[in-house]
Amino acid sequence: MASDYEIPKDCRTAKDVLREINAEIARYTVKNLPDVQQQLDAFVKAQDGLVTDYRSKFPDLRRTWCDRQRDVERLCAHVRCEFPLKDEKWRKAVEKCICKPLHELCCLRQRIARRRYCCAGPHERKRDEAKAAFDKANAHLGWMTTLADSLTKELAANLDLVGQINVVPPDQRPTVLYLFFKLRRSHVHMAPYDASDECREVCSEFDPDRLCCEVFERPCPEEECNCAPKGEWPHENCTHAPKMNAPWLMSPDSYGHALDCAWDAYLKAKEELAEAEAELKKYPDDLASLQAQYDADYAGIKDKILNCLLGIKYSTEDCCREHEPTKDCDDKRDYDPRREHDSKRDYDYRKGGY
């Protein structure tokens, strides 16, 4: 009859249970549902007010953008006259001083991304990707929920650039190229939803993808790490200028729905980050965890080896008995080789023997 106290064969180890608990804690910590619930509750109550506020401020924001449009058109005429890109001198200057540093910066960003990809474990890599997606969604939600104020700040920053360009001294005039480059890019990005193509294409030769296309299309240097990734390398396209995650003058009629989409993207990214963090806690493969595991294993290596050896079945009988001499050899223990010649000695009659 089987014992009532048989030990189950399919139970989890205490270490596995601890991993699962740590994973649940990490998941709960990242989700932080009570805090998210409070934020969402506050947002839902304020959403209609945000839309109403943006709708009321939109005409003035649009008017301010149009003022900057006139500034950009005026400055564009001066820049075209002062630094004609048809001249090889200025075309080479833009390529060397603006396009090349921007491309090198992107290539370095790509190199860092690939190096991290090489050195990261699969769970750590998934967590890092989820963290990057969450940071992007969080930044997007940040300026979306404060759209009117964010646009006001960006428009003020562009007005400041206009002022800087206007007062550049004669001996520093080439720096106008970069200041105008920054001004135009930010200004065009903020264009109202109903802006004409003509407004969006103002001074289009200074669009980074046109101005720097030859430099941007050059391949980045090969990464020297010997990692062979499964699938494709992390996406870091250096053939185009990176997209701006910044506010723009969207339609007031679309703003409420855009807010919903921003919150939805944020919560999805937060959920994916929580799952990735939980998996990393359950199956840690990041460098810090591996180092901690090494330190613990190193401290316990002696006990691990001894316990393994003690677990081997071993007979307690004397294993050396079979190698002991037999009884037939007992009379040979006092054997003296000099006695071999005793029988061959001559008889000595004086001694009465040999």
pLDDT band at 104 (very low <50, low <70, confident <90, very high): very high
What's the confidence (pLDDT) of residue 173? 95
State how far the alpha carbon of 338 is from the alpha carbons of 295, 332, 344, 351, in Å: 66, 13, 12, 21
pLDDT band at 210 (very low <50, low <70, confident <90, very high): very high
Mean pLDDT along residues 331-351? 56
Model pLDDT for residues 241-252, shown as the tens digit of each residue = 989 999 999 999
Of 145, 115, 113, 114, the closest CA to residue 49 belongs to 145
Distance (Å, rounded) from C-alpha 159 to C-alpha 255? 25
C-alpha torsion 325→331→337→340, nearest 10: -140
pTM: 0.76
Least confident span in 112-121, 241-250, 304-313: 112-121
What's the confidence (pLDDT) of residue 230? 63
Quick one: 280 exposed, middle or buried, by C-beta within 10 A (0-12, 13-18, 19+)?
A: buried
Least confident span in 14-18, 183-187, 281-285: 14-18
Place of tokens 């969604």: 137
For residue 112, count other CB atoms closer than 10 A to its CB: 13
pLDDT band at 328 (very low <50, low <70, confident <90, very high): low
pLDDT band at 71 (very low <50, low <70, confident <90, very high): very high
Model pLDDT for residues 22-58, shown as the tens digit of each residue = 878 888 787 787 888 888 888 889 999 999 999 999 9
For residue 58, count other CB atoms closer than 10 A to its CB: 19
Distance (Å, rounded) from C-alpha 329 to C-alpha 332? 5
Per-residue pLDDT for 271 more than 70?
Answer: yes
Residues 6+ apart with CB under 8 A from 133: 269, 272, 273
What's the confidence (pLDDT) of residue 289? 84
DSSP string, 82-105: HS-TTSHHHHHHHIIIIIHHHHHH
Residues 6+ apart with CB under 8 A from 213: none
Model pLDDT for residues 169-200, shown as the tens digit of each residue = 999 999 999 999 999 999 999 999 999 999 99
pLDDT band at 17 (very low <50, low <70, confident <90, very high): confident
Of 213, 206, 188, 190, the closest CA to residue 198 belongs to 188
